[in-house]
Structure 1
Amino acid sequence: MKKYVFLLGVGLMSLTYGQETNVEELKKLGDQFQIEHEANLKFISEIAAKKGWDEAQLKKHFLGKYGDYLVYIDNTDIDQIKVADVDKLYDNTISGVAVTGEGMTVYQWDGGRIDTAHTEFTDDRASNMESAESPISDHATGVAGIMVAAGVSPAAKGMAPSANVVGYDFYNNLNEIVTESANNLEYMISNHSYGYQAGWKYGEYDQSLGEGWYWFGYPSMDENESAYHGIYSTLDSYIDNIARNAPQHLMIKSAGNDRNTGPGTAVEHAVLGDNDEWEISSTFRPVNCGTTGYDCLPYGAIAKNILLVGSTNQVAGNGRYNGPSSVSPSVFTSFGPTDDGRIKPDVVTQGSSVVVPTANNGYWSQGNGTSFSSPSVTGIAVLLQQLYYELNTEYLNAAELKALIINTTNETGDYPGPDYKYGFGLVNAFNAANLIVDETNNDAIIINDVKAISEKSYALTATGDEPIRATLVWIDPAKNPGSLSFELNGRTPMLINDLDMRIIEDSSLTEYMPWTLDVENPSAAAVPGDNVLDNVEQILVPSPSAGSYTLTVNHKNGISGITQAYALVVSGAKLSTQSTNDLQAKKVGIYPNPVRDILNLSGLEGDAQVQIISANGQIVKSEKVSNKQVNVNSLPAGAYIITIKDETGATAHKFIKK
């Protein structure tokens, strides 16, 4: 039998943007977010006083102003288990290993506190971090249940029924996310089943006008389409910055329920004027996102580095996947693309007709919404982390986990490849677990870093028995909020570091390229091409010949930061012996770390050229080393990267100078 190859190489790491959590930068972000939060609390108080409104009521849906955005927030309201084949992870089906989430913890930010007394949360597995001022919430309780409910009601059993859940409300979410990211250095998975308002919404968002239809958009920009759909906002930039500095933390978010929302007829409603005040209008506006449903993702769901989850109906037939035609989108789920054309949502799973626990009475109810598809995937991610740790005694980072989930989805939609309705497909926990442990599949997980000046190549061997599928994911730097403009359907790419993946069949020199989609023709089939928009690239070789292939990872237009870490997941092919030996043999190391005077180098083959790079990207030392030692006594205290190049290649390490 042939075994999976797991290569967990440590290559070049950026001080701020590598594979280690940057606690110092996270603390700075936390301070910044807390200042903004307090300023917005003051802003809300001033509005309430000026208008004579109930401040507590205003705070329920209004978070203040971030950049150019008045931010209104709300929730995005045993079938799921079968749809994603999760039950096969419970019963030793996967190589004799059963995982239920025991000993694992998942976080959620939602509209209130979890009802921790519900019988589904046995053994004190659910806890709240908010005070009693935050109300117990049906929605928060249901979301937690989808992730970790014990299964007292079998239909409501959670994905990870033995895991723990820690709950926050979403009113100061940015600062809290930063704090927990800095405290959970090995792994962190969090669910975010809430959304920021875009387009039509029924409720009370102006206490003077009362309950009714509100249209979150600016008629002066467009009478029918809200600029809040598809736009990369200040909040998306903030989330990407957190993810960049916390590469162990995968944030999983609901895509939103905006599609088809609206009165559908000409009714009196409120719209935003150019002065950001609500105004009464009777103009007819179509339901959100028109007849096609595309371009329906609200801002705040547009970040590059999250895993965005859309919703499907229950799979047709016996509840298990049976081909693309067995999967259909929920009537409410928001479709992509983003305004710059990126492939979102990333994945989908069932969010319709879901049984969940409810608050205060110990009962259950049936709910619908991407709010309930997102925690399903979050619970699956917890199981995959547990399984990976049991086999490898370490956890996947966020990019690896995201790549694993995307690479193992079931095909959906009318055409092969991703689309703007389903993303890369229907999540399948069994496929993902098999990629980790099944000794018969011969798949490979590869983790490395791309240097700013070179291409990385991997020699692959395919049996020809199944397609080759390769998924490349990297945590891209955030777009600077100061460079963002509030415009309708702006096409400026949000991608900063543009990595490129290619697969070449060695015998014929046939080149295979990643999937691309057309933002101007969103219903069209995906086609292979040069993807210049996404920080997720996937290549499919549908009918490979048995033999050797070369997979390359390169970049264009330089790298922001010293390097760019990436995760690569490949199925349908294995690393050749040469690639495996090359990667495993490269064990150049440094010690001691932290260091005061002399830094020792181990594993060198002869002389080496050494460069030391400071936190601001400056080369502060460059020399040839023949005695396997580098004197760092003269360097100021702080964090540095040392790059070491000998006759076998180059590596890099982060070290701390005392």
Structure 2
Amino acid sequence: MTYTVPFLFWIRKYILFITFCLVSLLSAAQTELQLQQIRKGTHSAKLGAFTNDLKINFTQEKSQLLQQAKVNGWKLTERLPNGNFSALTAIGPDGTPIYYSTFSSDLNSTTRSNTMHDNGLLNLGINGENMMVGVWDAGSALATHAEFDSRVSVSDQSEVVDSHATRVTGILVASGLDKKAKGLAYKAKAVTNDWTRDKIEVAEMAANGMLLSNHSYGIRPDRVPDWYFGSYISVSRDWDKIMYSAPYYLMVTAAGNAQKSKDNQSPIFGTVDDGYDLLLGFATSKNGVTVAAANIETNNNGELLHATVATYSSFGPLDDGRIKPDIASHGSNIYTTGAKNNNGYETTHGTSVAAPGVTGSMLLLQQYHEEVEGSFMKAATIKGLVLHTADDVNAPGPDYNMGWGVINSKSAVELIANKGYASLISEESLLEGEIKNYTVRANGIDPLSASISWTDPATGVVNIGLLNDMTAALVNDLDIRITKEGEAHFPWKLDGTNADSPAFKGDNKVDPFEKIEVLNAEGTYTITVSHKNNLEGGAQNFSIIVSGIALTDCVLTIPEEVALTTAKNTSVSLNWIANTDALFQVEYKKKGSDHWIVESTFDHFLTLEGLVSGTDYWVRLKTFCSENASSGYTSEYEFSFMGEETELLRLSDYIPLEQKLSFSIIPNPVQELMTLEGNFPLNASYKILSMNGIVVKEGQAIEKQIQIADLTVGLYVLFVQGDQKTTTIKFYKS
């Protein structure tokens, strides 16, 4: 399989480009049609049967839980000294009472999600419109808060309004009445629930099209024996089963705030003081995203300046050596909504508030992908995308503190925009025994990076009491390699028994995400995807993401030397210097109109039809290298169309609109004295030209009145210049 783009790509690209103009106007993410497409990809029968099992088990376990709590004197709920809420939720296989606890101890800019917003750096207008996110927490959010403007609902009739849930929900969707509290997806909707029946409710909503849910809570680390830490246990498997059965659904959870707790006396690496091996419960699932908290600083261009892991954020590894946490987000001094009243705000920190930074960013990325590609990404794709594009911190490669690095929504959305031009994002399937090859050409500028991500089956052995069990939880072990002229490049991996050592390259046998980076790559490479052993089910879906490549010979340069070449009674032709593998978009309109007429061509020329003689037009051009990857526009130029008498000049000989002065002539037509209305610099001068280009009068425009009684009857052009700005207006001497 080669990704050197053939002519058919451009045919598809042209069709998609035309439909994109319609999609931009008509798209409404998560419409009933989109939900049907997600449901179609869901293993409904398996998920439904599992949900029924969860309901039966929930009823039985709830009764046993209450009985055991009464016998053993266990507290059912507790408000901890640090403000976190804790509740008894289950009994472990060894009889340990399992308590869930919340993890709380300008986010938009540190995740770079604000670059997608209205008036953001990328100017995409992606704010969460028509998107929905699920929030499970200690209770429901204060749905009546002024920042939520009826966009937050309580789906499970929870009677507990929780401050922690309100903070998390505000980080996701607060509208920004107080600008400092503006949510990442500030026009999205949120459904908020308590954690009592979280697996059941999530399974039901995922079956109906929910893409993302946020879980800023987990098992209390001070109430479990040491073997729980880093273990793949039954609750980890349950959540993996939900995600495997609903391949568009992704769970995002907080890593926890136990780094200094000394709760694990027997970590798989280091001493109790080092902070390793502290992840618990669904934070150890294979298919979800576990978020660390970091202190992050970025600049106005969305570039990472500084990042360090927060002093409270829980470290991995998992006992089987998997890379967890997966990614980091800002988690300190976050200003957001509070639950004391409908207009309250609070400042908080913790992995609880770092997690929604990732969830909200992913929601915007899903919205953008749906708008430009017409479909949502599968969970493995969106997960792979944010890990692939994360800003690497400290030593090259991942680590057990912040996973693959700091989330960078700007880089992720640019990778989507460059799809088919400078990046590859593809959802594929590997049959048992199959090997897939992709031939790509490095762009010679960026590192060649290739990743595979997959949602792994939930089957396999779970730990029921063995301390630091290193048995791999991975079921279907896929592999990625990059080769060139016999030299093979391997993916990053970590060693859990040497958790503070830098990442190295080798055969990764434990992670359902693998990434390879080739620095200073030049020429053509082969990317190979294969697998070890048997594949459960006979096949495994996966997503491949590649960056640092050139899929076409197109170059994103603004068209140059644009010129008017031929003119007829109702048309004029344009020529420009051609980028031979590009699509060009030409836009033109009558002066003063709000509507651009859009034409597209693969040639280096185009004829504008249906023009009206005696009318002024504005025109601009840009280059497209894929459906979404485009150059900037040329300047906007104004030219006077006079039929076959139109002056045939390079557009650069005309005056760019951004360099024009703004004024008008009163009256027009004029007999003897014209008045110029507008603001002119003191050095402004004017010239009056006949239609054959001869200067017939000139002077200082600051006087604002010009006598023209001596001119003959006819059409003229007034040219005004000052402070390196110019403009022209036609007038008629009657």
Q: Which residue does 1:229 correspond to in 2?
A: 229
Q: Which residue does 1:567 correspond to in 2?
A: 543
1:534 paired with 2:560, answer no
Provide the rounded CA distance (Å) in 1 between the counterparts of 2:347 and 2:363: 24
Displacement of 1:262 after TM fit? 5.4
**2:289 aligned to 307, 331, 334, which one?**
307
Provide the rounded CA distance (Å) in 2 between the counterparts of 1:65 and 1:319: 49
Provide the rounded CA distance (Å) in 1 between the counterparts of 2:312 and 2:550: 40
Asked if 2 retains the 8 angstrom alpha-carbon contact of 1:194 and 1:371, the reply is yes
1:257 paired with 2:257, answer yes
**2:199 aligned to 174, 192, 196, which one?**
174
SS in 2 for 1:107: strand
Q: Which residue does 1:652 correspond to in 2?
A: none
Q: Structure 1 168/318 Cα, relative in aligned 2: closer, same or farther at 3 Å? A: same
Q: Which has the larger radius of gyration?
A: 2
Displacement of 1:332 after TM fit? 0.8
Displacement of 1:439 after TM fit? 7.6
Provide the rounded CA distance (Å) in 2 between the counterparts of 1:80 and 1:320: 12
Q: Which residue does 2:321 correspond to in 1?
A: 341
In terms of mean alpha carbon deviation, does 19-28 or 459-468 score higher?
19-28
Q: Structure 1 518/141 Cα, relative in aligned 2: closer, same or farther at 3 Å? A: same
Provide the rounded CA distance (Å) in 2 between the counterparts of 1:230 and 1:53: 25
Provide the rounded CA distance (Å) in 1 between the counterparts of 2:549 and 2:176: 38
1:492 paired with 2:471, answer yes
Structure 1 residues 376-455: aligned runs within 5 Å: 376-413=357-394, 415-438=395-418, 442-455=422-435
Displacement of 1:352 after TM fit? 1.2
Provide the rounded CA distance (Å) in 2 between the counterparts of 1:20 and 1:88: 31
1:65 paired with 2:88, answer no
SS in 1 for 2:406: coil
CA RMSD of aligned residues (A): 2.9
**1:522 aligned to 475, 486, 499, which one?**
499
Asked if 1 retains the 8 angstrom alpha-carbon contact of 2:420 and 2:551, the reply is no
Asked if 2 retains the 8 angstrom alpha-carbon contact of 1:232 and 1:299, the reply is yes
Q: Which has the higher contact order (CA 8 A, sep 6+)?
A: 1
Corresponding letter in the other structure for 1:524: S
Provide the rounded CA distance (Å) in 2 between the counterparts of 1:345 and 1:60: 22
Tell me, which stretches of 5 or more residues in structure 2 are unaligned?
14-38, 80-84, 554-734
Asked if 1 retains the 8 angstrom alpha-carbon contact of 2:302 and 2:410, the reply is no
Cα deviation code 1:570-589 (max 9, x no counterpart): 11014579xxxxxxxxxxxx
Asked if 2 retains the 8 angstrom alpha-carbon contact of 1:388 and 1:395, the reply is yes
Q: Which residue does 1:34 correspond to in 2?
A: 55
**1:364 aligned to 345, 352, 358, which one?**
345
Displacement of 1:568 after TM fit? 0.9
Q: Which residue does 2:445 correspond to in 1?
A: 465
Corresponding letter in the other structure for 1:299: G
SS in 1 for 2:236: helix
Cα deviation code 1:314-360 (max 9, x no counterpart): 4278896445xx10111110111101100011110101111111113
Q: Which residue does 1:552 correspond to in 2?
A: 528
TM-score (norm 2): 0.66
Q: Which residue does 2:133 correspond to in 1?
A: 106
Q: Which residue does 2:214 correspond to in 1?
A: 191
Provide the rounded CA distance (Å) in 2 between the counterparts of 1:49 and 1:425: 45
Provide the rounded CA distance (Å) in 2 between the counterparts of 1:492 and 1:350: 33
SS in 2 for 1:552: strand
Provide the rounded CA distance (Å) in 2 between the counterparts of 1:370 and 1:3: 43
SS in 2 for 1:520: helix
Displacement of 1:91 after TM fit? 3.3
Corresponding letter in the other structure for 1:105: M
Displacement of 1:27 after TM fit? 1.2
Asked if 2 retains the 8 angstrom alpha-carbon contact of 1:444 and 1:574, the reply is no
Provide the rounded CA distance (Å) in 2 between the counterparts of 1:291 and 1:53: 29
Cα deviation code 1:223-253 (max 9, x no counterpart): xxx2221111110011111111010101111
Provide the rounded CA distance (Å) in 1 between the counterparts of 2:358 and 2:533: 35
Cα deviation code 1:394-426 (max 9, x no counterpart): 11010011111111111112x101111110110
**2:115 aligned to 80, 83, 88, which one?**
88
Corresponding letter in the other structure for 1:452: E
Tell me, which stretches of 5 or more residues in structure 1 are unaligned?
9-17, 201-214, 218-225, 264-270, 272-282, 578-658
1:216 paired with 2:193, answer no
Structure 1 residues 319-330: aligned runs within 5 Å: 321-323=303-305, 326-330=306-310
Displacement of 1:479 after TM fit? 3.6
SS in 2 for 1:381: helix
Q: Structure 1 497/487 Cα, relative in aligned 2: closer, same or farther at 3 Å? A: same
Corresponding letter in the other structure for 1:130: D
Asked if 2 retains the 8 angstrom alpha-carbon contact of 1:76 and 1:370, the reply is yes
Displacement of 1:108 after TM fit? 1.0
SS in 2 for 1:573: coil
**1:128 aligned to 142, 154, 173, which one?**
154
TM-score (norm 1): 0.73
Provide the rounded CA distance (Å) in 1 between the counterparts of 2:117 and 2:178: 17
Displacement of 1:96 after TM fit? 5.1
Corresponding letter in the other structure for 1:491: M
Q: Which residue does 1:618 correspond to in 2?
A: none
Provide the rounded CA distance (Å) in 2 between the counterparts of 1:262 and 1:292: 9
Provide the rounded CA distance (Å) in 2 between the counterparts of 1:284 and 1:55: 28
Q: Which residue does 1:44 correspond to in 2?
A: 65
Provide the rounded CA distance (Å) in 2 between the counterparts of 1:445 and 1:409: 16
| 4+ residue segments displaced more than 3 Å | 2-8, 48-60, 66-70, 91-96, 316-323, 438-441, 574-577
Asked if 1 retains the 8 angstrom alpha-carbon contact of 2:89 and 2:99, the reply is yes
SS in 2 for 1:558: coil
Corresponding letter in the other structure for 2:211: M
Provide the rounded CA distance (Å) in 1 between the counterparts of 2:47 and 2:280: 26
Provide the rounded CA distance (Å) in 1 between the counterparts of 2:122 and 2:333: 32
Provide the rounded CA distance (Å) in 2 between the counterparts of 1:496 and 1:50: 40
Displacement of 1:67 after TM fit? 3.8
Displacement of 1:152 after TM fit? 1.3
SS in 2 for 1:256: coil
Corresponding letter in the other structure for 2:232: Y
Provide the rounded CA distance (Å) in 2 between the counterparts of 1:513 and 1:26: 36
How many residue pairs were aligned? 512
Provide the rounded CA distance (Å) in 2 between the counterparts of 1:406 and 1:319: 21
